[in-house]
Amino acid sequence: MYDAIILAGGENNEHLNRYTSQPYEAMIDIAGKPMVELVASALAASSQVSRIFIAGPVRELTQCSFPDKAVIVAGGRTIIETISLGMKALGHENLTLVVTADIPLLTPTAVEDFLSQCAGIQADLYYPIVTRQDHEYRFPGNKRTYVRLQEGTFTGGNIFLVNPKIVAPCMTVAERIIAHRKNPFKLCCLLGWTFVVQFLFGRLKLKQVEKRVGDILGIKGAVIRSQYAELGIDVDKPSDLELVRSCFIQSL
């Protein structure tokens, strides 16, 4: 089993401020609950998840109803700092699941499929991707950031399996990667101009990207292909919020 860390410290962005008075994304109301509660419930329902550490604004998080196995810890000023604080709270250096608090459509099945695929691979960082076809079939009309590679067109997920030992050495480079996560071209620039040219012509291969990112970070990375588009629906714009709320209304 794996411990999990939910990153719940992100402040609400300018696009969502008009639709909610909550200062933190994790606390946005979805079907009568802060969406971080929905993420925690999905993790708790997975047979492969043990403890759940929720890192973010302690005062707000203590007002939530979390599963018994949940522990609240203070978050940091940045995503990487929050990850680092969560890792320190673990008390071990075993592979740990890291999940953002803004994916309320997450399901136990999606979590278990991801972890099952990771189990057959030796790596320090596991990252899921979903094909555009799978995403648009599940959520037609939803706008996502896609990357065109030789194997197809993909969008990224918001759940990771991480070796805690790599967090401190990778912090500086990881901050730059996260800052450009919505801009495929800038991400390629971090990889080098050869990658930029190959990216522009759609010639990049998944294994090339996997190896290059691993070389830059000094780690072994693994890209996991998932069929579960729920991993990629992060609420960071009004259309995402509308989509997620409508999904819960339809499930009633």
Q: How far apart are CA 67 and CA 160, in angstroms?
A: 21
> Is this model's pTM higher than 0.85 or not?
yes
Per residue in 26-41, pLDDT (tens digit) is: 999 999 999 999 999 9
Instruction: Check whether 206 has a pLDDT greater than 90.
Output: no
How many residues are recorded in the chain? 252
CATH number at residue 212: 3.90.550.10
Instruction: Check whether 183 has a pLDDT greater than 80.
Output: no
Q: Identify the pLDDT of residue 77.
A: 84
Could you count the other beta carbons within 10 Å of the beta carbon of residue 197?
Answer: 12
Per residue in 12-28, pLDDT (tens digit) is: 776 777 777 788 899 99
Q: What is the DSSP letter of 78?
A: S
Specify the number of domains making up the chain: 1
The larger pLDDT score, comparing residue 27 to residue 196, is at 27
Q: Identify the pLDDT of residue 130.
A: 96
Q: Identify the pLDDT of residue 193.
A: 64
Distance of CA 218 to the CA centre of its chain: 21
Give the model's confidence band at 51: pLDDT under 50 very low, under 70 low, under 90 confident, else very high.
very high
- What average pLDDT does the segment 148-170 reach? 89
Domain limits at 54?
Answer: 2-251
